[in-house]
Amino acid sequence: MRVLVVEDDPLLLDGLKVGLGLAGVTVDVVSTCADAEAALAANAFDAVVLDRMLPDGSGLDVLKRLRGSGDRTPILLLTALDDTTDRVDGLDAGADDYLGKPFDLDELAARIRSVARRGVGRAAGTLRWRDVTLDPAAMSAIRDGVALSLSRREFSVLAALMERPGAIKSRSDLEDRLYGWQEEVESNAVEVHVHHLRVKLGREAIETVRGLGYRMRDGE
């Protein structure tokens, strides 16, 4: 899961990047409204964590402009202004959730997972494909009652494919999900992760669609 965090406080920004990373989220960070809008225009994110008070304006304006342009990316407002009226304003401006500072890191991660899965039209907290169950909260994978041992990146690739089994994910889609901007992407990283997943789930599980990408094999 790839999330954009818009926050101007360097310590909190660092904490969110590392902390959400521990929860299996790929985090990109920006500190201003302008950077946030540029990032959102250039990349697709599963969710955005948006601070309200930013050095060059209000996060609420970013939110309104984004919703005004038809963007449906799930957005969680993260802010110190947490009067009821502030919450109401934020939610009515198009935010999907609202969390006041200071917050609990685990709760923030859970809320991000929640708005992200709602964003793709899914309600259940776990992902299912055939006999494989993925729990993004615990970052655990179970197949037929047996726990699978997956690395963080393998888990992310599998989760991306299982979100909509049958839909094709291109290599660059998957790379985007796995790596933030600052991270160096090895040219064949996705192939390596898919290879490892096939070893653990069986060759048939992930189908290569030549020239387009990968998908979970349809049917039972």
Partner 1 sequence: MRSLRVRLFATLIVATGALWLIAAVWIYVGARQEVEHVLDTRLQEAARMVSSLVAAGSLPPKPEAGGPPGLIPEAAGYERQLSCQIWSLDDRLVARSSGAPDEKLSDGGAGFSERVVNGEPWRVYAVQDEAKGIRVLVGDRLGLRERLVTDLIKGLLWPAAFILPLLGVLIWASLGRGLRPLDRITRELSGRDAEDMSSVDAGAAPSEIRPLAAALNGLFGKVERARRHEREVTAFAAHELRTPLAGLKTQAQIAVAAQDPAVRDNALRQVVRAVDRTSRLVTQLLALARLDAGPSNGAVEAVPLGSLIDEVAELCRAAAPDVPVMVDPEIRSMVLAAPRESLMLLLKNLTENALQHSPVGGVVTWRRTAGEDAIDIVDEGLGASEAELPQLTQRFFRGAGSSGAGTGLGLAIAAAAAANCRARIELMNRADRPGLSAQVHFEAGVMSASRQAGMAA
Residues near partner 1 (CB under 8 A):
8-12, 14-16, 18-19, 22, 31-32, 53, 55-56, 79-81, 100-106
Write down the least CB distance from residue 46 to partner 1, Å.
20
Going from the C-alpha of 136 to that of each of 92, 108, 180, the distances in angstroms are 28, 14, 19
Residues facing residue 76 across a β-bridge: 49, 97
Distance of CA 157 to the CA centre of its chain: 12
CA atoms within 13 A on the CB side of 106: 3
Write down the least CB distance from residue 106 to partner 1, Å.
7
Residue 125 CB partners (closer than 8 Å, separation 6+): 113, 114, 117, 135, 136, 137
* Nearest residue (CB) to partner 1, 14 versus 183: 14
> Which of 36, 25, 29, 23 lies closest to 11, judged by CA?
29
Q: Which amino acid is at 165?
A: P
Q: Which amino acid is at 116?
A: A
Write down the least CB distance from residue 63 to partner 1, Å.
17
Write down the least CB distance from residue 125 to partner 1, Å.
20
* Nearest residue (CB) to partner 1, 48 versus 132: 48
* Nearest residue (CB) to partner 1, 100 versus 119: 100
Write down the least CB distance from residue 61 to partner 1, Å.
16
Residues facing residue 133 across a β-bridge: 128, 142
d(C-alpha 72, C-alpha 66), whole Å: 8
Write down the least CB distance from residue 41 to partner 1, Å.
20
* Nearest residue (CB) to partner 1, 55 versus 145: 55
Write down the least CB distance from residue 119 to partner 1, Å.
23
Asked whether 67 and 37 are in contact (CB, 8 A), the reply is no
* Nearest residue (CB) to partner 1, 53 versus 110: 53
Tokens of 164: 């909509």
* Nearest residue (CB) to partner 1, 24 versus 213: 24
CB-based burial, 124-138: b 16+ in 10 Å, e otherwise: eeebebbebbbebee
* Nearest residue (CB) to partner 1, 15 versus 180: 15
DSSP assignment, residue 214? E
